[in-house]
Structure 1
Amino acid sequence: MMHWTPAAALLAGLTFAAPTFGQSANGLTQLDILDGGRSADGSYQGALRMTLQDGWKTYWRAPGDAGIPPHFDWGPSSNVGEVSITWPSPDVFDQNGYQSIGYEGELVLPVTITPKNPAQPVRLQGSVDIGVCKDVCVPERLDFDHVLDAEAGRNPTIAAALAERPFSPAEAGVSGAACHLSPTNDGMQIEARITMPPAGGDEVTVIEPGNPILWASQTVTERQGDTLIARSEVINASGEPFALNRSDIRITVLGAHHAVDIIGCSAG
């Protein structure tokens, strides 16, 4: 697994109605901001579209053992109260013997922006650090600076990305999700038992502990009838003791037909 730090990038210019385009320093990735207009509740719909050169991949929020998760800096933005990201269902790749999870060619990442003051313009400004991989892994930093267009109409590219989100538990027919926690030499094991119909093919389960200081190992998944069993070990890199809150544990099942997003699990 490679270790690296983000490289410098070119600065994307400020635009008002047209998308903002930013090119990475090494030319492997282009970023543009898509406008989806303002909703009735005052929030804005937009998206970050990252277009990669042919054959290159980038990573999901939980990238697997061979990847680096994207990091977003919204700090320089103006009149932005909250940014909510909707992740499209990712693919699972074998990367030099390691499992990685992400997207090939393009990632359209829908974002819902809630302004601090609905009567004022919203300027989305900041940067995103990502890793892109082909035969080698390369760091990318992409800057963006864009005043959102409140009058923009429905954007079909954003709509398509939203349609690719994982199913909710109800949509996937999940009737139960329980997590058994047990101590290990280095941390804690989570064994999740999820009662749900198959998602198709060889299902891959990802367990996220819900705390950014904790790391979860690649999950081992098996199925016993209608029950999916997934095990992962969680450790704290600092070596300090930690507690797990079952309500914060996030379980994603990636199948050939669809993905399922489960937040929280009961004691089991």
Structure 2
Amino acid sequence: MRKTIALFACLITLAITATGAQAGGAMPPAPEDVVKIDVLPGWRDADGHHVAALRIRLAEGWKTYWRAPGEAGIPPTLNWQGSDNLAGVKFHWPVPVVFDTSGMQTIGYADELVLPMTLVPRVADQPITLSGQLNLGVCLNVCMPMDARISLVLPVDKAGAKAPIQRALRQRPDTAQEAGLRRAVCKVEPMADGLRVTVTLDMPAVGPNEVVVVEIADPSVWVSERSTSRKGGALTTVTELVPSAGKPFLLNRADLRMTVLAAGRGVDIRGCTGG
């Protein structure tokens, strides 16, 4: 029993790296009063991969952000370079919520985020030592970037609670096929400092107040605020992509990722054609 507890022990060191001032100059709350972070150890699947989840629990009213956080959000980053017997990690993001705060759109999660991840071991029948750093932002009326150091051993033959991870996996966006996407077309136009991309999605409505989020594989490219409109069966969004070089660049339409969000649903669309 003592050995099992040691294997599942998860060390989380949490600290604020930068803070914004609250109204009246009050000090922001302590990190441990705002967010609690742990790893749900999960299980090994039939392919020899380990299914686990990062869990972020937030104090009432606080929120954290999706991988594409919107205008004023802070995108999370995870670095597992200190890990052992780990060949790769794939994250399975649940459908996020679109927040409208003081006229600004942000995308993320309130109360709790359970982020499932599939961990691929280099040697299938050996434990994975998961070690790394999580950087995230949490916001209420003040936003606080935080760092969390994570250390955990995931054994081969022990399993943790499956229900929270399985529930989060079921909250994934629909695929393009499941949502009935008929066609995704991207019109690309050069601008002085980058590209303007008009995306037209021929698909049934996902729900009221649809928002289309456009992502590109290169994280150094700034993606502007989206304007989204629907006319009949066509959903259109216009966005601008501005690289650090500040000039037009070659864009592979297959590298674009579009997510349609509405009323608790999401649709994940990979790539588009030129017309």
Same fold (TM over 0.5): yes
Q: Distance in 2 between matches of 1:149 and 1:91?
A: 34
Which string of whole-angstrom CA distances, capped at 9 and with x for unpartnered residues, describes residues 40-81 of structure 1? 111000000011111111010000110111011100000000
Contact 1:193/1:229 (8 A) holds in 2: yes
Q: Distance in 2 between matches of 1:71 and 1:46?
A: 17
Q: Distance in 1 between matches of 2:201 and 2:191?
A: 22
CA 1:39 to 1:182, structure 2 compared with 1: closer, same or farther past 3 Å? Answer: same
Task: Show structure 1 runs of 4+ deviating over 6 A.
Answer: none
Contact 2:192/2:248 (8 A) holds in 1: no
Matched, 1:215 2:253: no
Shift of 1:95: 2.5
Shift of 1:139: 1.1
Q: Distance in 1 between matches of 2:180 and 2:248?
A: 36
Contact 2:126/2:155 (8 A) holds in 1: no
> What SS does the corresponding residue of 2:37 show, helix, strand or coil?
strand
CA 1:16 to 1:225, structure 2 compared with 1: closer, same or farther past 3 Å? Answer: farther
Which string of whole-angstrom CA distances, capped at 9 and with x for unpartnered residues, describes residues 200-240 of structure 1? 01001100122112111111110111111111011013324
Contact 2:204/2:233 (8 A) holds in 1: yes
**AA in 2 matched with 1:44:** H
Q: Which residue of 1 aligns with 2:146?
A: 140
Q: Distance in 1 between matches of 2:98 and 2:10?
A: 30
CA 1:32 to 1:153, structure 2 compared with 1: closer, same or farther past 3 Å? Answer: closer
Match of 2:41 among 35, 39, 43: 35
Matched, 1:93 2:81: no
Which string of whole-angstrom CA distances, capped at 9 and with x for unpartnered residues, describes residues 174-215 of structure 1? 111111101123211111111111010100110012211211
Identity score, percent = 43
In structure 2, runs of 5+ residues without a counterpart are 16-30
Shift of 1:241: 4.0
Q: Which moved more, 1:127-136 or 1:148-157?
A: 148-157
Q: Distance in 2 between matches of 1:189 and 1:265?
A: 15
Contact 2:84/2:129 (8 A) holds in 1: yes
Q: Which moved more, 1:102-111 or 1:144-153?
A: 144-153
Match of 2:89 among 78, 83, 89: 83
**AA in 2 matched with 1:94:** D
CA 1:128 to 1:257, structure 2 compared with 1: closer, same or farther past 3 Å? Answer: closer
Q: Which residue of 2 aligns with 1:195?
A: 202
**AA in 2 matched with 1:192:** V
Q: Which residue of 1 aligns with 2:12?
A: 22
Contact 1:90/1:102 (8 A) holds in 2: yes
> What SS does the corresponding residue of 2:61 show, helix, strand or coil?
coil
Shift of 1:36: 1.7
Q: Which moved more, 1:61-70 or 1:91-100?
A: 91-100
Matched, 1:250 2:257: yes
How many residue pairs are counted as aligned between the two chains? 255
Q: Distance in 2 between matches of 1:237 and 1:67?
A: 20
Give TM-score, length-normalised by structure 1.
0.91
In structure 1, runs of 5+ residues without a counterpart are 1-14
Matched, 1:230 2:237: yes
> What SS does the corresponding residue of 2:254 show, helix, strand or coil?
helix
**AA in 1 matched with 2:87:** G
Q: Distance in 1 between matches of 2:258 and 2:241?
A: 13
Give TM-score, length-normalised by structure 2.
0.88
